[in-house]
Amino acid sequence: MTFARPDHTSDLDTLPLMPAWVTSARAETLEDVAFLSGATLNHLHLVLGCQEVPQALLRDKLALRAAAACVAFSGRPERDAELRDAVHLLRPGDLPGPAGETYLAWRRAAERPVSIKALSRALPTLEPGQIAAWLDAGKGAPVTRAAMALEAVLREAPRADEAALILADAALAQSLGWGNLMPLLATGLKRADLRKHGDDLRSACHRALISSVVGAVRLAADLARRATHLKAVAPKLRAKGAGDAVEMFLTRDVVAPSALPLPDRAARRLCDRLVDLGAVRELTGRDTFRLYGV
């Protein structure tokens, strides 16, 4: 299947809409689900070609979703809010804990172009040669290759769900010609799916992508609107370093004021100003240790 990139998209109204038949169709056979997952991936490819979509921000938010899914697979109680706190409120010398490590792994895997070096950074306990072998374990169409990579990892390391899902998404990205990994499979698969094999696993991956890609496309459209608004209000910000701060908001799921390139008080004022302008949201509901995001 050829994934064509649109020539130009200069207006948010031109963001392509997911065809209704993709989400309403009922797929019974492997061929049916393969066709529908291919349609959703093709549509996501078109959306990613739209310049209004803040791709780094989209990947970071999808990384949080994938991390939350992996943490749930392991039986841990942490969800989005706890994962954000575990990573974004870290102080020098602090350890993020097991759930925070999972979140960091997904963020690191998604933030740089797919390569053995980048994947080794995300999965430091694995040898680069092992990562390369698992990444190349699959052959054939993109989703088949991803499913085979997933199965290869779990066959040799049955408890390495996180690594298996990261490498499966990396194999998918490489097959589709995407520069960066898009965290997709973890949010669509069920825990029981990870113990399937062969055609059953491929079918599960196709079904997972149908649901997760539809969610990713909706998120991309929402982020495109929010990013456009943030860029529109940016000229109203007069604080020194405000431009760099805006760029951080356009690439990260959340930002702590202490991470901004401004003095503490100025950073908090800038965040409050952006909230007043409707450009970012405060996501914790707390009076202290706040986190802000587009």
Sign, CA dihedral 243-93-117-166, equals negative
pLDDT at 5 over 80: no
pLDDT at 293 over 80: yes
Q: What is the pLDDT of residues 200-256, one digit of tens each?
A: 999 999 999 999 999 999 999 999 999 999 999 999 998 889 999 999 999 999 999
Lowest mean pLDDT among 24-33, 48-57, 224-233, 237-246: 24-33
Contact 73, 191 (CB under 8 A): yes
Q: What is the CATH number of domain 237-293?
A: 1.10.10
Residue 41: CA count within 13 A, CB half-sphere: 28
Contact 40, 214 (CB under 8 A): yes
Give residue 9's pLDDT. 36
The residues spanned by each domain of the chain are: 37-222, 237-293
Residue 148: phi and psi, rounded to 5, are: -70, -35
Q: What is the pLDDT of residues 100-134, one digit of tens each?
A: 999 999 999 999 999 999 999 999 999 999 999 99
The pLDDT confidence band at residue 14, using thresholds 50, 70 and 90, is low
What average pLDDT score do residues 183-206 get? Answer: 97
